[in-house]
């Protein structure tokens, strides 16, 4: 009950809500604990619970709820297309200290959308309508949705907004790209502004929020009630703190290279799994370094080299070479040339 009261208080506060986005295989208990020490989010979203007719709650994702180390509300996200299974899972989740139940309508991963889940559901507004109706009836706590602006065409967005409004959502998050755009195009923030105008519930803006000035720009452009930030916080764990400092007119913290190096060390320790071979630990770190590396230097050399590290010694030797200095590091993404198929393409400003 405490988490739900905190969420309701946040929704009523005049300050923008700052949410950590749900990122699969990233926003687990360990990452949430780490980020909470750098500049806590106001609210955290879990990785998505995969919901199938015979599925059960993933114990590792559930731990980020039952062992919540942040002191802030946690919203449980579900993904799936089986209405009965989604209802059953929502009821199960409500037995735990969750602040709200969220439905994922935006995941752009092909293996997900090809099964008509996540962003794939945006091709079937009638089915979304039916699922939301069933979930709204089953969810006795705040019920939220995270969506993109269409699957491969934004025309459906005008059809989706009345559906969202009809089911009395408590919060809507809009990622301002289509599913097929992945992260490779510039977000179209005007679609978020449309959602703000159409919905009676608060709307969070999501997509390419990489600095405190960018946060202010997106809030001004959209009129959104707050911001959901994912990849920007992997690269810059101080981002929530910086946004708050800028809003109150305080000096905005800017890390040095050594601050970033300490963060990389803390991240390595936080996400390491005892008993796993060193090469696997390094490979696991690379999914984080792919984003951190965009803010290290402009040539792409750090990113190129760190992707090829195979041992802990090699990994941290490279990190020290590029980060062991006292110069300020804004950690804003440099326009590094990336392959069109790279998941980070489009992560720049």
Distance of CA 13 to the CA centre of its chain: 22
Helix (H, G, I), strand (E, B) or coil at 78: strand
- Look at the block and give the residue holding tokens 């809030």: 219
Catalytic residue among 107, 116, 254, 319: 107
| Count of beta carbons in the 10 Å neighbourhood of residue 341 | 8
Residue 298 belongs to a domain: yes
Residues 194 and 287 in one domain: no
Residues 278 and 188 in one domain: no
Evaluate whether residue 252 is within a structural domain.
Answer: no
Residue 201 annotated in active site? no
Are residues 236 and 312 both part of a single domain?
A: no
Answer yes or no: do 182 and 272 share one domain: no
Residues 229 and 284 in one domain: no
How far lies 139's CA from each of 93, 156, 162, 169, 192, in Å?
Answer: 10, 26, 20, 11, 25
Whether 279 and 230 share a structural domain: no
Please name which of 199, 224, 197, 198 lies closest in space to residue 207, comparing C-alpha atoms: 224
Could you list the pLDDT tens digit for every one of the 349 residues in the chain? 567 678 888 888 889 999 999 999 999 999 999 999 999 999 999 999 999 999 999 999 999 999 999 999 999 999 999 999 999 999 999 999 999 999 999 999 999 999 999 999 999 999 999 999 999 999 999 999 999 999 999 999 999 999 999 999 999 999 999 999 998 889 999 999 999 999 999 999 999 999 999 999 999 999 999 999 999 999 999 999 999 999 999 999 999 999 999 999 999 999 999 889 999 999 999 999 999 999 999 999 999 999 999 999 999 999 999 999 999 999 999 988 777 666 665 555 5
Segments forming the whole domain that contains residue 194: 2-247
Query: Considering the entire predicted model, what is its pTM?
Result: 0.95
Q: Which of 225, 247, 269 is the last residue of a domain?
A: 247
What is the chain's Cα-based Rg?
A: 20
Q: Which of 247, 272, 294 is the last residue of a domain?
A: 247
CA distance 79 to 85: 10
C-beta neighbour count of 289 within 10 angstroms:
24
Within-domain flag for 95: yes
CA distance between the termini of the chain: 39
The C-alpha atoms of residue 266 and residue 136 are separated, in whole angstroms, by 40
Give yes or no: residues 279 and 168 share one domain.
no
Nearest Cα neighbor of 105 from 166, 142, 156, 61 is 156
């Amino acid at each position: 009950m405490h988490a739900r009261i905190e969420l309701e208080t946040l929704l009523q506060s005049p300050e923008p809500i700052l949410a950590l986005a749900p990122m699969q295989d990233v926003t687990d208990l360990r990452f949430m604990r780490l980020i909470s020490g750098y500049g806590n989010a106001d609210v955290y979203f879990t990785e998505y619970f995969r919901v199938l007719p015979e599925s059960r709650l993933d114990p590792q994702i559930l731990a980020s709820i039952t062992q919540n180390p942040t002191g802030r509300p946690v919203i449980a996200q579900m993904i799936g297309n089986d209405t009965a299974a989604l209802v059953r899972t929502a009821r199960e989740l409500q037995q735990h200290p969750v602040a709200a139940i969220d439905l994922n309508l935006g995941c752009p991963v092909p293996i997900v959308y090809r099964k008509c889940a996540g962003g794939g559901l945006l091709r079937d507004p009638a089915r979304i309508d039916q699922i939301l109706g069933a979930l709204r009836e089953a969810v006795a706590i705040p019920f939220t949705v995270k969506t993109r602006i269409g699957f491969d065409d934004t025309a459906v967005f005008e059809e989706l907004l009345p559906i969202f409004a009809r089911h009395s959502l408590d919060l809507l998050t809009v990622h301002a790209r289509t599913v097929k755009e992945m992260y490779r195009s510039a977000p179209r923030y005007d679609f978020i502004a449309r959602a703000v105008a159409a919905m009676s519930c608060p709307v969070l803006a999501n997509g390419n929020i990489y600095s405190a000035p960018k946060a202010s720009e997106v809030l001004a452009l959209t009129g959104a009630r707050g911001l959901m930030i994912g990849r920007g916080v992997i690269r810059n764990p101080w981002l929530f703190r910086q946004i708050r400092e800028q809003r109150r007119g305080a000096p905005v913290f800017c890390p040095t290279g050594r601050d970033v190096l300490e963060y990389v060390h803390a991240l390595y320790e936080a996400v390491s799994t005892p008993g796993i071979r060193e090469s696997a630990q390094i490979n696991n770190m690379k999914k984080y370094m792919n984003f951190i590396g965009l803010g290290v230097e402009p040539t792409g050399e750090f990113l190129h080299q760190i992707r090829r590290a195979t041992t802990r010694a090699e990994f941290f030797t490279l990190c020290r070479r590029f980060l062991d200095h006292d110069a300020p590091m804004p950690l804003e993404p440099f326009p590094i040339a990336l392959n069109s198929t790279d998941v980070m393409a489009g992560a720049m400003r």
